[in-house]
Amino acid sequence: MENSGLFFNLVPLIVILPVVGLLINIIFGQRMNEKTIGTVASAASGLTFVVSLLLGYSLLAGGGEAQSIHFADWIKIGNLDIPWTFRVDTLSVTMMMVVSVVGTLIHIYAIGYMHEDVRFKGDLKRYARFFVFLNLFIAMMMILVSGDSYLMLFVGWEGVGLCSFLLIGFWYDMDTLGRPSWANSNAGNKAFIANRIGDFGFLLAAFTMFWFFGSLQFGDVFLKAEEIAASQPGVIMAITLFMLIGVTGKSAQIPLYVWLPDAMAGPTPVSALIHAATMVTAGVYLITRSWAIFSLVPDAQYIVALVGAITALFAATIAVGQYDIKKVLAYSTISQLGFMITAVGMGAYVAGMFHLIAHAFFKALLFLSAGSIILGLERGHHHLAHHTKPDDPHEEVFDPGDMRNMGGLRKQMPVTFWLYMIGSLALAGIFPFAGFWSKDEILLDAAKNHTVVYVLLTIAAFLTAFYMGRQIWMVFFGKSRHAAAEHAEESPKVITVPLMVLAAASVLGGALNLPFLHSLEKWLEHTIELTAEHAAGFHGYLSISWGGLNPLVALVSTLLALLAIGLSWFLYGRNPVQIGQIDPLKKMLGPLFTVFENKYWVDEIYGVVIIKPYKSLARFLAVKVDWDFWHDWLHDTVIARFFRWFTNFLANPIDLGIIDAISTGLANLTRSSSSALRRLQNGFVRSYALSVLLGVVLILGYLLFK
Amino acid sequence: MEGTIPLTYYITVSAILFTMGALGVLIRRNALIVFMSIELMLNAANLAFVAFSNSYGVLDGQIFVFFVMTVAAAEVAVGLALIVAIFRSKHSIDVDQMSSLKG
């Protein structure tokens, strides 16, 4: 083999290692202590990262040529042959590295976090189960990004959906505050069902593709795409739009985004890993992977970009009006995913992937820091409970995630404060953090291609900076608004060290694709043909370029971000929010803020428009159609009666009258004929002899006279 | 051939003997008499064999007679043994008594 000496054949390990890790924890988990369980899971994930690095090195050394590593035969029916093949190219390896590095850090973080979670009551079984799910997630995500066909991708796609469901409902018997309730398991169901709708779209896309292309392998599909686009352009359009439905489900875009905010019911490491950094970006990966199809239908691309841009703005406005620290980040994630979807919709695949990577770092950082803050507040609360009223059952329910309970935390939790600061600045797109570079690339592409999209995204970026500023001022500055915040304590090293690594990545992440260098672009160019956005000629001020960085776009977005931070200081920093005070923005915006606060009542609207009719339809179908019509009337009346009549008919006339009559008739005949014949057997030897004699005479007579 | 007895005579004698034998078998109840009647029938057949053999000048018939006599001797041996056995159990040799196979 030409690539001997390189590590391509190691690729199955990226799935095998996490599976080994989870098997160890399943089998021996109950006999090990927390540290060992966490270490096994983290090591499995960490080794996966090492393998990803080796694969990256092999690609670099091998010239970036895509490799297909056959692992096992899967489906072989007639002409249909779908093997389990790993695809190692620059795109999949990029995803592998992001998933495994963020995954590993979050595994380590989770060792500390899960131990300190107030809902965790020392149940080792549950602790092991958590890490089993995390490892399963890593394995499934790896299958998703490394599959060589849409079917393998779909296996991973469903697998991560399953893990998401399992982990959102991890505390399935309580709500986010640890009270007995079905809230968390309902949130898990919501995520699963919303994703199911999206997955249905994905399946339709895959079926259409198989019908017209006769294959689901990436290579075959991309090869034939152009030919089919020329003869049947509608087919490609349908495939891309069906795929978009799948993307809106998995990547939480309008109209299926509603599950993601509720998914915050899961433990914070899960929110960071699955619902911010990796799984939700699967949609972005899918579109980037299918660039050869999407590039053929500009109309569909425009729809994708528009969906992304509208989502980005829509979710950003909701984030402005939220009080729960994780909910703000959840809506921010939806908004940022909108940015990525917009980018890949415009054909700016590198910008989308760049933002995906940068976002994975800083949003994981933000979520994990938020987890650290929540833990800090819980510690403060615990401290209080011990000192004042030990076991008061009427104690008010304390929500450690509510920003209105926080304030002034920068003194109590300095490390977390600085980490959160870095994450926020990166998210807000302030120079020189990672978010600045990646968001700017998307904005520049939007400015070049679609003015509407550019305007939407710029407002969204402004709001992003604003709600992050609001959060920082509310959480870390001013005076504590709750006694628990006053007694908050910093988190231990096992929690803060992974955060520091992520913070470093958030600061330096921009170096992946700096202007002039374009290292990520050159890296991905091996997999994606980049033509459209760079070949097009521009006019006027947009043609100014510093090695791919447009000063005007960069300046506008930076100024807007600074303005937004200033505005947030004016509202929340100058006069810190007091206990029980109405949100300052509410005074300014009035009813509009109420709309944001209530998330545009989308859940309620869905409830009235879709869920309620759906439930009554289900009830109608169950009671009227299934029970009354189908069961009572058709089965019990029509079919049962006919059946009874028919069996009667078969039993009496047919069976008794004909079948039985034949056999009894035969028996009677035998009996009567035998009773007639038995008279011949009189037992007298002489009569037998006479018969013999007569017989002989008869035969002889016949022979003589014939 | 002058001076020889015609074949018809032999056949007539043979037929008479056979008829007597057959009647004996059918009519008499004493097993021994039945036996003797069977022997009579066998010897009627033997007579016919020899008569035809002599008449046609072929030895086949005479050879058959030997066989018949041998079989008759064997049959008598077996038959007498049976009669003895029956007599022992039934104290009678009346063939009509032996009717346990009556249907």
C-alpha to C-alpha distance for A525 and A532, rounded to whole angstroms? 13
On chain A, the residues whose CB falls within 8 A of the CB of B22 are: 693
Give CA separation, A303 vs A299, A405, A501, B37, in Å. 6, 41, 37, 122
Q: What is the pLDDT of residue A505?
A: 92
C-alpha to C-alpha distance for A524 and A56, rounded to whole angstroms? 12
Q: What is the pLDDT of residue A531?
A: 52
Give CA separation, A71 vs A11, A49, A83, A146, in Å. 9, 20, 8, 12
* pLDDT, tens only, A646-657: 999 999 989 998
Q: Do A686 and B29 touch (CB under 8 A)?
A: yes
Q: Do B103 and A683 touch (CB under 8 A)?
A: yes
Q: Is B8 on the interface with A (CB under 8 A)?
A: no
Q: Where are the domains of chain A?
A: 1-146, 337-390+400-597, 605-705
Instruction: Flag the least confident range among A19-28, A414-423, A513-522.
Output: A513-522
Task: Assign A535 a pLDDT band (cuts: 50, 70, 90).
Answer: very low
Token code pair at residue B93 = 């040799």
Report whether A681 contacts B98 (CB < 8 A): no
Instruction: Flag the least confident range among A82-91, A241-250, A502-511, A517-526.
Output: A517-526
Report whether A260 contacts A209 (CB < 8 A): no
Structural domain of residue B40, as residue ranges?
8-91
Q: What is the pLDDT of residue A253?
A: 93
C-alpha to C-alpha distance for A623 and A612, rounded to whole angstroms? 16
Give a yes or no: residue B100 inside a domain.
no
Q: What is the pLDDT of residue A1?
A: 43
Q: In terms of Cα–Cα distance, which of A328, A345, A521 is closest to A427?
A: A328
Token code pair at residue A612 = 């309620």
ipTM: 0.86
Q: Do B103 and A689 touch (CB under 8 A)?
A: no
On chain B, the residues whose CB falls within 8 A of the CB of A682 are: 99, 102-103
Give a yes or no: residue B3 inside a domain.
no
How many C-alpha atoms does A276 have within 13 Å on its Cβ side?
Answer: 34
Q: Which residue has the higher pLDDT, A443 or A541?
A: A443
* pLDDT, tens only, A255-273: 899 999 999 988 999 999 9
Q: Do A682 and B99 touch (CB under 8 A)?
A: yes
The residues that bridge with A180 in the sheet, in sequence order, are: A174
Give a yes or no: residue B52 inside a domain.
yes
Whether A542 shows a pLDDT value over 70: the answer reads no
Decide: pTM greater than 0.90: no
From first to last of its 103 residues, chain B has per-residue pLDDT tens of: 556 788 899 999 999 999 999 999 998 888 899 999 999 999 999 999 999 998 898 899 999 999 999 999 999 999 999 999 989 988 888 888 888 777 6
**Residue in chain A lying closest to B102 (CA):** A683
Q: What is the pLDDT of residue A348?
A: 87
CATH number of residue B39's parent domain:
1.10.287.3510
Q: How many residues does chain A have?
A: 706
Interface of A with B (CB under 8 A): 677-686, 689-690, 693
Give a yes or no: residue B102 inside a domain.
no
Q: Is B33 on the interface with A (CB under 8 A)?
A: no
Q: How many domains is chain B built from?
A: 1
Whether A681 shows a pLDDT value over 70: the answer reads yes
**Residue in chain B lying closest to A678 (CA):** B103
Q: Do A686 and B95 touch (CB under 8 A)?
A: yes
* Mean per-residue pLDDT, A155-183: 90
Q: What is the pLDDT of residue A540?
A: 46
Task: Assign A536 a pLDDT band (cuts: 50, 70, 90).
Answer: very low
Print the SS3 string covering B52-79.
HHHHHCCCHHHHHHHHHHHHHHHHHHHH
Q: What is the pLDDT of residue A537?
A: 39
CA gyration radius for chain A?
36
Token code pair at residue B38 = 């069977």
Q: How far is A643 from chain B (nearest CA, A)?
A: 51
* pLDDT, tens only, A67-126: 888 888 888 887 778 889 999 999 999 999 999 999 999 999 999 999 888 787 778 888
* Mean per-residue pLDDT, A303-315: 94
Task: Assign A552 a pLDDT band (cuts: 50, 70, 90).
Answer: confident
Task: Assign A520 a pLDDT band (cuts: 50, 70, 90).
Answer: confident
Give a yes or no: residue B85 inside a domain.
yes
* Mean per-residue pLDDT, A557-567: 91
Q: What is the pLDDT of residue A412?
A: 87
Output the DSSP codes for A32-93.
S-HHHHHHHHHHHHHHHHHHHHHHHHHHHHTTT--EEEEEEEEEEETTEEEEEEEEESHHHH
C-alpha to C-alpha distance for A92 and A147, rounded to whole angstroms? 9
* Mean per-residue pLDDT, A483-507: 89
Position B64, amino acid: F
C-alpha to C-alpha distance for A267 and A288, rounded to whole angstroms? 30
Give a yes or no: residue B40 inside a domain.
yes
A149 φ, ψ to 5°? -145, 165
C-alpha to C-alpha distance for A490 and A534, rounded to whole angstroms? 48
On chain B, the residues whose CB falls within 8 A of the CB of A684 are: 95-96, 99
Report whether A681 contacts B103 (CB < 8 A): yes
C-alpha to C-alpha distance for B59 and A259, rounded to whole angstroms? 119
Mean pLDDT of the residues in chain A: 88
